[in-house]
Amino acid sequence: MVPWIFALAVTLPAAADAASPAPAAATAAAEDIDEIARALGADKQAAEAAQPEAPQAQAGAAGAAAFNPELSFVGDVAGAYFSDEPAQLGAHDPNHTGFTFRQLELGVRSNVDPYFRFESFIVFTAEGVEVEEAVAATTSLPANLQLRAGKFFTAFGRINNRHPHAWEFIDAPLVTATFFGMHGNGGVGVEPSVLVPLPWYTEVVASVIEPDADAIEPFAVEDTEIERFDRLMYMTAVKQFWDLGSDWGLGLGVSGLQGPGPMLGDRTYVGGVDMHLKYRPVSGGDDSSSVVLQGEWLGRRRTVADLVSRDSGYYAQLTYHWDRRWSAGVRTERLSAQSPVLELHEDEGEDEHGHTHVEVPGDHARLREAVQLTFAPTEFSQLRLQQNRDRIPGRDEPLWGTMLNLEIAIGAHGAHSY
């Protein structure tokens, strides 16, 4: 609490003065402060005198290791077969026939002090090392507020800020990987959020980030220097959740963002809705079984040079866990156009802004279906087999992909988001 009060006191001196209970208290303050300073000085000396005994009592291996952050490693390796030239979009997707070292993710977590918590995910791949997330979050802001700052994935939709090991399928959805780039929507910035005081869960999240030029092609900026605010990306999301009895839960989200396009002056707008419906018979049935229906729809409007392009896509998936170890799922996806391929219709004129509107015919949609079967011996290991059928515009034959992924998790026990 104290630093926030201090910050308020510094930024709002007039308000702080006004808040003083009575003028008498203000005039007495000077003498009081002298007294307080003397007392604090005496306390400090006393504390220093008492110091030598305390560390000795705490000494030992446990004392030295006590403040080490929590560490965890998640490793993913996959074998895959593709019937034709692969066209996977996610950064960690198996992307060729053969074996893929998808990632080794080092998670580092710790409370910093009574005011901040820190969390970082450092990802090792065949290409090198990348800090995917490194973010500090406040823990004690008033009014249900939280502020996060650092490098992070935004809270857009449902799957974007979840790491691949929390997904129900091996590869990233087409729509998010296309609209947000291979890694997802993230960058360096700040994210204020608030838990709205309503009887049901309602969280409003906003973020302002500088998009990561390397990782996020759709928003890549030519020069990384932010000279104008329109080179930043602004995201807002509202997330709600309702308990429908003890066995059912429904989550709904609405998200929107705007950010820079590929060239200076270009703008990109993305809107999305997401839903998550889960049935788990915790009130007396088989507690280890569950059925989850999850989907997201995203639409995008871009100005690229003089053109306005619109595209959209969705994924919808159904996952069934029939016991603690076994689960299976189906997923269907549609991406309306293979961005950034734009087809110009000659007969369409320019609008009042001088933009040429582009309609992409529906048969250019990319469609992909997947089924998966998962065996997880414990919470710490998992084997997943997935079969994709991918119908890509411009190809005569569907692309068939078969993937088998092994995942291990060691170190600190991670907690699972809903």
Partner 1 sequence: MKKPFFLVCAFLMLAAPAFAEVRVAATIPTLAALAREVGGAQVTVEALSLPTQDPHFVDARPSLAVTLNRADLLVMAGLQLEIGWLPVLQNGARNPKILPGGDGLLDCSTVAKLKEVATGPVDRAKGDIHPGGNPHYLTDPQNAKLCAAAIAAALARIDAAHAAEYRKNAQAFSADLDAKIAGWEKRMAAVRGASVVVYHRSWIYLLDWLGLSEVGSLEPKPGIPPTPSHIAKLLGDMRAKNAKIILQESFYPDATSHLLADKTGATVIEIPGGPAAGKTYADWMDDLLNRIRTAATKP
Phi first, then psi, for residue 20 (nearest 5°) are: -60, 135
Whole-number Å distance between alpha carbons of 16 and 26: 11
Nearer to partner 1, 30 or 62 (CB): 62
Going by C-alpha positions, the residue among 94, 297, 302 that lies closest to residue 218 is 302
Question: CB 58 → partner 1: shortest distance, Å?
Answer: 17
Going by C-alpha positions, the residue among 206, 205, 156 that lies closest to residue 181 is 156
Binding residue (CB under 8 A) for partner 1 from 83, 97, 140, 258? 140
Q: Judged by CB under 8 A, does residue 416 bind partner 1?
A: yes
The residue to which tokens 């009574």 are assigned: 114
Q: Judged by CB under 8 A, does residue 242 bind partner 1?
A: yes
Q: Where are the beta strands (DSSP E) in 245-365?
A: 248-260, 267-279, 290-304, 307-321, 326-335, 356-358
Token pair recorded at residue 112: 């910093």
The residue to which tokens 């006191």 are assigned: 9
Q: Judged by CB under 8 A, does residue 241 bind partner 1?
A: yes
Nearer to partner 1, 201 or 320 (CB): 201
Binding residue (CB under 8 A) for partner 1 from 10, 55, 65, 418? 418
Q: Judged by CB under 8 A, does residue 266 bind partner 1?
A: no
Binding residue (CB under 8 A) for partner 1 from 16, 104, 195, 307? 195
Reported as type and span, the H/E element at residue 207 is strand 201-211
Q: Judged by CB under 8 A, does residue 239 bind partner 1?
A: yes
> Binding segment for partner 1 among 53-61, 205-213, 285-293, 338-346 (CB under 8 A)?
285-293
Nearer to partner 1, 83 or 138 (CB): 138
Nearer to partner 1, 56 or 417 (CB): 417
Whole-number Å distance between alpha carbons of 19 and 13: 10
Phi first, then psi, for residue 45 (nearest 5°) are: -60, -45
Sign of CA dihedral 34, 38, 43, 48: positive
Binding residue (CB under 8 A) for partner 1 from 20, 58, 144, 224? 144
Binding residue (CB under 8 A) for partner 1 from 78, 89, 91, 137? 137
Nearer to partner 1, 125 or 146 (CB): 146
What percent of the chain is helix, strand and coil (3-state, nearest 5)? 20, 45, 35
Q: Where are the alpha helices (DSSP H) in 168-255?
A: 174-180
Which positions lie near partner 1, rule CB under 8 A? Answer: 111, 114, 117, 137, 139-141, 144-146, 194-195, 197-201, 203, 239, 241-243, 246, 249, 251, 278, 280, 282-284, 286-288, 323-325, 377-380, 410, 413-418
